[in-house]
Structures are given as C-alpha cells and as structure tokens.
Amino acid sequence: MAGVSRSDAWFDPSDPGFLIDPYPHFASLRALGPVHAHPQLGPVAVTHAACSELLRGRDLGRIWVDAEPAADFPAFNLLHRNSLLEREGPTHARLRALVAGAFNRGHTARLEPWVRTVADGLVARLAERIRDEGSADLIADVAAALPVEVIAELLGVPEPGRSALRGWSNAIVTMYEPDPGAERRAAAERAAAEFVAELRELTAYRRAHPGDDLVTGLLAADLDADELVGTAALLLMAGHEATVNVIGNGTLALLHHPDQWKRLVSDPGLDATAVEELIRFDPPLQLFERTAIVDTAVAGFPVPAGTKVAALLGAAAHDPQAFDGPDVLDVGRTRNPHLGFGLGAHYCLGAPLARLEVAATLDALRRHLPDLQLAAEPPRRPDFVMRGLRELRVTA
C-alpha cells in the first residue's frame, strides 16, 4: 500500500545511526509499500521494481532548477545546467551521442594497462606503509588517489589542476545532500568556479594542441564551450566520487566478511562478479531524483507534474524480490540486476571504466595484501546521498 505515513518507518538522512546502517530502515519501508511520501525527501521509491520504473519512466525526467539565489552560484549552476545528466529529450539524445562517441573511442581499452599499473603502484605503497607504520588509510592512499589519476588522465588535466581535482569533486557533490548548509554551499561554488577556470584554460590549450584525451575528443565532437565544461564536471563527480566509495565501501564489506575476502584471494576468476556485488551491497549513490514532466504515477503512487520523486537505490539493492539473500555478501553472485549504474536513457557512460578501476584495485590488494584486515572501525562521511568513508585504516 503506497503512501503509508507510519512515523516509525521514517528515517532522518542526517542521523549518524542511520548513516552507519540505513538498510534496516529501508526494509521497514519496503514492507509497507513500494513508494512513500517521506517528510524530508518527498516521494521515494524503495523497491527494486518501483525504482526501475522510476528510472525508465518516460513521464519522468531530469529538470534542472538553478541553485538559489542564482547570483550566488553562477559556476555551480553553469556546470549543471549544461550537464548531460540534467538534460532530456532531443537535447539529451544529441549531447549523449556526441559524448558517447568521444568517450567510447577506445579510451577504456587504451587506459586499461595504465590503470592496472597505477593501482598496483598505489597498493604496493600502501603495503609498504603498513609494514613501516603498522597500518595505513586505504581511502587516502588508494581509493581516492586512483580515480583522480584516471579522470585526470582521461581528460588530460595537467598539474597543478590534477592535484586539485579531488578537493573540487568532494566540495561540489555536497550540494546534492538534503541540507548541506551555508558553509558547504559556499565551498561548492568556490570549487565549481575553480574547476570551470581550469577547464576553460585546458580547452583553449587543446584547441591549439590536440592530444589523445577526452577533452580533445569532445572538441572534435563539436560541443559548445559550456557543454564541454559541464560534461567534464559530470565525469569528475560521477567518475571520482562513485569509484572512491565503491572501493572504500566494498573493501570494508569484504573485511567484515573475511570468508568472502579469502574466497576472492583464492579465485581471481571472481573479480567480475565481485565488482558487481560490491556496487550492489553498499551502493555509493543512495538516491537519484527525477521530476514528473506530466501528471503520472510510480508503482501506483500519484506524482503530479513538477514533483520530484527519488529512487532510493540502497533500498532497491537489498530488495528480496530482486535478489536472493540480499543482505548476504556473495562475491560469486551471478543474478545481480543492481541499479548502481542507473537504467534507461541516463545509464552511466563511464560504467566500463569504473568496473576496470575497482577490478584493478581488488587484483592489486589480493597480490600485495592477501592477509588484509581492518585496523579499526572506520568513520563514515556525514552524507547520505553519496555514501562513503572518511578513512579506512587497514593492516595485514
């Protein structure tokens, strides 16, 4: 029965207890119905079927509304107004085709040996630090470092901008939280402005000096200047944040389930299914919003035109109607229709590259640190939408 408003089923997305383990709360909501009018988030879909319907629905779209007051957020709004993710219909189809053509021009295949080498080097240094110091932070030394290097290489960003990418990404994505606060909103705008300036400079350079990078490919695809910057920002935030958190959340899950880590260590052939399972088990993106273009419904729940409705991807990932034993971590799971890369028109273009980064990290950890274990329970970031860890101290 959709729309039930039992107070004991609600959750506060800023509550530390909820952030540690949101999945029992999601199970309570699934038991009451597929879609609910959450008092803070608005309508939310909590079953796999309802989330799939929401993501595929033709009556629902991404309709960008500038952050307000707009005069305070010119760079942040520019990035998102011109993002592939925030466009629909013919405009989205045109931009996606151009970006897909540039992105799929062999970039993942070209980068694979390099990605595996970088991952191997980062994990080797992590292992050395553990030997010297007793423990080390896998987030800082591996999970956050690898995606920054990959996105920078993909876009062709040189230093000093390359070193600033992680901070820009971390600051900008806080704007997606339900209530980021004035200080974090201001920090997001500063980061967006710096990123726009860096990309404008890089674009000008690549016009005069084409290279074997995505910015050169996007220029050849004839994106306009703002579309190119918006596309680069989307790749940074989606490619960096999601991969950092898959590696962090996934490694923590494996170390909380040492039988699955040992299974993965002993059988490299499980890497592909393990990557998908880590994305499903503790998703890095917990919520994805769409807006009703016309009066419509999701799983029978009425959604008037102009209403935002959210897919709770973490709830969908643990739905027993879609997964056998959804609360069990199984690195050999073969039936795994997770929604971690989305569905439909906005399915993630960078999915092959993200899979490669996670697989390369698992392979390097297996070879350098087969006896990997937790040194301490890690603190989580105080965020709901982008779910991740502040640090992950490990030992061996």
Summarised one tens digit per residue, pLDDT across range 326-338 is 999 999 999 999 9
User: Is residue 61 within 8 Å of residue 36, measured between CB atoms?
Assistant: no
* pLDDT above 90: residue 94: no
Domain residue spans of the chain: 7-395
Percentage with pLDDT > 70 across the chain:
97
Q: What is the mean pLDDT of residues 58-85?
A: 90
In sequence order, what DSSP letters do the residues of 221-254 get, joined into one string? Answer: TT--HHHHHHHHHHHHIIIIIHHHHHHHHHHHHH
In the chain, the N- to C-terminal Cα span, in Å, equals 49
User: Is residue 356 within 8 Å of residue 364, measured between CB atoms?
Assistant: no
pLDDT at site 176: 86
Contacts 24+ apart (CB under 8 A), 191-196: 191/167, 192/73, 192/75, 192/76, 192/78, 192/79, 192/168, 192/233, 193/74, 193/75, 194/164, 194/168, 195/75, 195/79, 195/168, 195/233, 195/236, 196/75, 196/78, 196/79, 196/229
pLDDT at site 68: 92
User: Is residue 135 within 8 Å of residue 377, measured between CB atoms?
Assistant: no
Assign 151 a pLDDT band (cuts: 50, 70, 90). confident
Beta strands 308-312 and 373-374: pairing type?
unpaired
**Which are the contacts of 185, defined by CB distance < 8 A and separation ≥ 6?**
67, 72, 73, 174, 175
The string of pLDDT tens digits covering residues 206-234 is 999 998 888 888 888 878 889 888 888 88
Assign 108 a pLDDT band (cuts: 50, 70, 90). confident
Assign 8 a pLDDT band (cuts: 50, 70, 90). low
pLDDT at site 25: 93
Residues across the chain? 396
The helix or strand, by DSSP H or E, that contains position 374, with its residue range, turns out to be strand 373-374
| CB environment 12-37: b (16+ within 10 A), e (fewer) | ebeeeebbeebbebbbbbbeebbbbe
* pLDDT above 90: residue 393: yes
Beta strands 42-45 and 308-312: pairing type?
parallel
**Could you tell me the CA-to-CA distances from 215 to 108, 152, 173, 212, 233 in Å, in that order?**
15, 11, 22, 9, 12
d(CA 116, CA 186): 37
* pLDDT above 70: residue 303: yes
User: Is residue 202 within 8 Å of residue 164, measured between CB atoms?
Assistant: no
d(CA 75, CA 71): 10
Closest CA to 156 of 206, 196, 84: 206
CATH topology (fold) of 7-395: Cytochrome p450 (1.10.630)
* pLDDT above 80: residue 268: yes
User: Is residue 231 within 8 Å of residue 202, measured between CB atoms?
Assistant: no
pLDDT at site 7: 47
pLDDT at site 4: 47
* pLDDT above 90: residue 360: yes
pLDDT at site 98: 80
More confident residue, 42 or 232: 42
User: Is residue 389 within 8 Å of residue 378, measured between CB atoms?
Assistant: yes
Closest CA to 176 of 264, 237, 92: 237
Q: What is the mean pLDDT of residues 242-249?
A: 95
**Which are the contacts of 314, defined by CB distance < 8 A and separation ≥ 6?**
22, 23, 26, 282, 283, 286, 287, 387
